[in-house]
Amino acid sequence: MSDATQTGTGPRTPVALITGGGGDIGGASAARLAADGWTVVIGDLDLAAALATAESVPGAVHGRRLDVADPRDISAFVEGAGAEFGRIDAVVCAAGIEPAQDLAGIDVDAWDRTQHVNLRGPALIAQAVLPWWARQRSGSLVNIGSRTWLGGGHPGYAASKAGLVGLTRSLAMELAPLGVRVNAVAPSFVRTGFSRQRGDERMLDAYAERVRAVTPMGELVRPEDVANAVAFLASDQAARITGEVLHVCAGSQLPTFL
Ligand SMILES: NC(=O)c1ccc[n+]([C@@H]2O[C@H](COP(=O)([O-])OP(=O)(O)OC[C@H]3O[C@@H](n4cnc5c(N)ncnc54)[C@H](O)[C@@H]3O)[C@@H](O)[C@H]2O)c1
């Protein structure tokens, strides 16, 4: 739990913002943080999904509409949450898209949208939260990256996630004097709404089996596994950890050339 519980006139509930919290990994992270006693504000392009998560998760979870590709939306979301809940302790950037395009199929608009959602979004969210963190002298940013930053994937997606690691490490350096930690969690394939962009259920069954077969631990990663890593990095248990990429991949981030 954040230092926020120890400051002020008495115990205070720490506040976390989660982008993409209407989705599976963001939703599991919301559930885990709420169970740990955080007040959670979910921002998602899909307002119905954000509200459904807020409704289904026990604890103080609130759903809001947010397009992380729109800088004005980001300002309004952060200012609204800060004004309503009085502080911002952790931010989890889980909103993401992956247009299934190889090099020959690159579409400029889809490429730009991917960079805006996956990479510029976390940068602008961090910028909007900065005044809160500067006042509080503490905070934690957890970016949801991807194993593809190492292993490659669809070029525009993998490039956005590799860029997110660069952003994570740069912000870790810049914000360390404020007591703000910045880390990334990089999962391998997780069967979620996101993966349904790849094809129908039968295709996904076959894909999941191929991934499982080459994964050293022989198991697929679940949203809850990612949420556990998010909760750790967001909390004071990770007090002196910053600038790291925590792979939640059941070993599939390791070289498999043998
Ligand atoms: N599922 C996987 O295999 C996998 C693997 C590695 C990394 N990731 C990353 O995990 C994160 C969460 O993915 P997920 O698997 O839970 O997928 P998901 O599709 O279930 O969730 C993504 C959420 O982001 C929201 N979103 C999309 N564009 C948005 C925007 N412009 N503004 C605000 N919200 C927006 C969607 O509405 C959705 O609720 C993503 O960043 C993704 O890149 C996923």
Q: Whose CA is nearest to atom 40 of ligand 1?
A: 96
Domain ranges of the chain: 3-192+223-247
Distance 21 CA to ligand 1 centre (A): 8
Catalytic positions: 157
What distance in Å separates the CA atoms of residue 102 and residue 129, rounded to the nearest whole number? 35
Would you say 221 and 26 are in contact if contact means Cβ atoms under 8 Å apart? no
Q: Whose CA is nearest to atom 41 of ligand 1?
A: 96
> Is the Cβ atom of 94 under 6 angstroms away from ligand 1?
yes
> Is the Cβ atom of 24 under 6 angstroms away from ligand 1?
yes
| 153 closest CA partner among 222, 78, 107, 102 | 102
> Is the Cβ atom of 193 under 6 angstroms away from ligand 1?
yes
Torsion 227-233-234-236 (CA) sign: positive
Look up the CATH architecture of domain 3-192+223-247: 3-Layer(aba) Sandwich (3.40)
Residue-by-residue pLDDT tens, the chain, 258 positions = 444 443 344 457 999 999 999 999 999 999 999 999 999 999 999 999 999 999 999 999 999 999 999 999 999 999 999 999 999 999 999 999 999 899 999 999 999 999 999 999 999 999 999 999 999 999 999 999 999 999 999 999 999 999 999 999 999 999 999 999 999 999 999 999 888 777 788 999 999 999 999 999 999 999 999 999 999 999 999 999 999 999 999 999 998 755
> Is the Cβ atom of 144 under 6 angstroms away from ligand 1?
yes
**203 is written with which tokens?**
């295709």
Would you say 216 and 251 are in contact if contact means Cβ atoms under 8 Å apart? yes
Q: Which residue has the tokens 């943080």?
A: 33
Best residue among 142, 164, 192, 210 to mutate for probing ligand 1, ranked by most atoms within 8 Å of CB: 192
- Ligand 1 nearest-atom number relative to CA 67: 32
Distance 96 CA to ligand 1 centre (A): 4
